Amino acid sequence: MKILMPTIYHPYMGGITIHVENLIKNLNKIGDYEFHILNYKSEGNTHSEDEFNKYYFDNVYVYEVPYISKIRGPSYFTKGYQLGKKIIKNEGIDLIHSHYAFPQGFLGAFLSKKFDIPHILTLHGSDVLRLSKNPVGKYFFNYAVKNCDNLVCVSNYLKNELIKSKCTCKTKKIDVVYNGVDTDLFYENGNDKNYGLFVGSFVKQKGIEILIESVKDLDFEFILIGDGELFKNFSDKINNEGIENIKLLGKKNQNETAEYIRNCSFLVLPSISEGLGMVLLEAMACGKPVIGTKVGGIPELIKDEYNGFLVPPNNPDELRKKIEILINNNELRKKIGKNGKEFSKNFSWENTAEKIDRIYNSMLKTMH
């Protein structure tokens, strides 16, 4: 089966890249697949604008789509459409599976219409929670969603938000398929090196400001991993206020990040909005207690006081209380961490891939 995937992929790091990589790895164990990925052109490449660079890993071809950074979405769409048409004609693509509504899902929808190929769209979070509510973004979001044959959401929360928005695909098919956890990377090593950890993008919806407010004068170390548009703001704030217990490490690769998670005391995700919160599951798989906010898909992962603590968003006092409980009670950390490890076993990439494989096959049956 030949799949065209408009998506973000390596070398860009983030939740979608990890999702796609693990999905492909596990689909390969199930069936005979070939993947053609339409990825953003990576910066620092010396290829000319028109020269599409093509990577080859066994059965995964990655095509780099040039874009203009000021208009990343629209420029990816126009170049990707030209390239996508060629790939579909030359390779005999069976099915399009887009990840994220715009520009990827929008592109998938156009190609699907032109060639009458089934289109599956996986919605990952901020496309449903933010793009769909943006006055301009809403148009692109609705077009992508309405012009696909099957929608996949990574949490029940996203599915419910989608239903509320009354925007759905032509077949009304919406499946919830959770992300999995890579247990070769996220496992318990018995270490607790006395620091709290945050992993994520430095963007407003992650609630980093709340975290800094709530822990800046605690006698305990906090490590923040990630980068993004607000990185410099927080870095300046920490320097200007002389905050000594918070270290910003910037971007780390997956192996380095996993090591920090395996060695931390607990992980905090203080999001203001969140599709699911993959990093919570990864921390649980490492036997770590977690603290998250009652937003988005997070309550689907954290059972309060069993495998972590749930706190209201935008509430530094409540967050601080729960953090102090974990700082002061080593036994509780172990107990909650053990429960989390057990809970995380429900989420495997094998399960994710099996569900997607079934969706692919049912789509092709319906179409032929």
Q: What is the pLDDT along the chain (368 residues), one digit of tens a residue?
A: 999 999 999 888 788 998 999 999 999 999 999 999 999 998 765 444 444 556 557 899 999 999 999 999 999 999 999 999 999 999 999 999 999 999 999 999 999 999 999 999 999 988 988 888 889 999 999 999 999 999 999 999 999 999 888 787 777 789 999 999 999 999 999 999 999 999 999 999 999 999 999 999 999 999 999 999 999 999 999 999 999 999 999 999 889 999 999 999 999 999 999 989 999 999 999 999 999 999 999 999 999 999 999 999 999 999 999 999 999 999 999 999 999 999 999 999 999 999 999 999 999 998 76
Domain boundaries, given as residue ranges, for the chain: 2-180+348-367, 195-344
Count CB neighbours of 334 within 10 A. Answer: 14
Task: Extract the tokens encoding 298.
Answer: 């997070």
Q: Return the C-alpha torsion angle 67, 69, 71, 77, nearest 10.
A: 20
Residue identified by tokens 């980068």 is: 227
pLDDT of residue 170: 74
User: What phi, psi does 65 have (nearest 5°)?
Assistant: -100, 115
Query: Given this chain, do its domains 2-180+348-367 and 195-344 carry the same CATH topology?
Result: yes
pLDDT of residue 49: 47
Residues with Cβ < 8 Å from 70, sequence gap 6 or more?
A: none
Instruction: Identify the burial level of 149 via C-beta atoms within 10 angstroms of its C-beta, where 0-12 means exposed, 13-18 middle and 19 or more buried.
Output: buried
Euclidean distance between CA atoms 156 and 146, whole angstroms: 19
pLDDT of residue 126: 84
pLDDT of residue 51: 46
One of 3.30.160.270, 3.40.50.11540, 3.30.470.20, 3.40.50.2000 is the CATH number of 195-344, namely: 3.40.50.2000
User: What phi, psi does 269 have (nearest 5°)?
Assistant: -125, 95
Helix (H/G/I), strand (E/B), else coil: 92: coil
Instruction: For 301-311, give one letter per residue: b (16+ CB within 10 A) or e.
Output: bbeeeebbbbb
Architecture, CATH, for domain 2-180+348-367: 3-Layer(aba) Sandwich (3.40)
